[in-house]
Amino acid sequence: MPHFPDFLPTTAQYLTESASIALAHSIRRTDIITPLSPQPIATGYVCEGAGSPPILLLHGFDSSVLEFRRLLPLLAPHRQTYALDLLGFGFTDRLAGTPFDPPAIKTHLHSFWKTIIGEPVILVGVSMGGAAAIDFTTTYPHAVKQLVLINSAGFAKDPLLAKFMPSPLLYMATEFLRNPQVRQNAGIRAYKDPKFASTDACLCADMHLQMEGWNQAMMAFTKSGGYSFLSAEFISKIDKKTLILWGDSDKILGTSYAQKFAAAIPDNQLIWIDDCGHVPHLEKPEITAQYMLDFIGN
């Protein structure tokens, strides 16, 4: 078996699901020059398949490209498919002095798109990645052909108190987030069927915590207020045809936000995924992929 990429933590060797192992082997990093730092940022991503327009997948909060281990292999036979580790997350470098907030995430994403892709994409955002996709689409409409939001953040507001929390308390909060039991409980809540919260799933969700600067990036992002600036007025500026996919048993964001997105986005299609929690791309990857491909026009 080939070695995993050197930048992955050694815990990668304990992955057991074939989809997890295959995607971990496929992760690469490339240096992306951005206005954010005098040094290029080593950026984690996966690219498989061929065909235009390409698909670009954006993961959720405190996650990585491994979140797409079941979805990406279903899309790549039909389109060139990318999954990206957003700035401050996953296996992308967290350079000291770099801001880790939504404007920096958007700048880094645009630099990656311009350097590696360079043509309009089907932009797919999951949970927090949906908020990042909305922000990117409204700023760089020339880079996006169509938009897919999967159980997307954007209406849920982060607690305002977090912006004013002193650093020692923020550090304690991130360490709480690192706690294995806390992460296991969050994993169970993400699915309707708790059997999906397996040991392998936990490892996929936790591996990036070992990357240098994880604490500092989490603290900086939290202090920035995250994507709490999004609103119905902001979201209504989306001028791309949009597919909204939503698990009907979402215990993380609930289900009311799906209707809010449908009311705010001018040209959209809302599809409910039955018997599914917050992560349809992991719990119901086949049906999620098929809805996406039908929307794209395959």
Residues identified as active-site: 127, 250, 278
56 within 8 A of 121, measured Cβ to Cβ: yes
Q: What is the DSSP letter of 159?
A: P
Under 8 Å between Cβ of 44 and 56: no
**Closest to 247 (Cα-Cα) out of 186, 298, 208, 288:** 288
Residues 227 and 160: their CA atoms lie apart, in Å, by 11
Q: Residue for token digits 């996650």?
A: 63
**Extended beta strands in 113-241, E state:** 121-126, 144-150
Total length of the chain: 298
Judge if the upstream peptide bond of residue 53 is cis by omega within 30 degrees of 0: yes
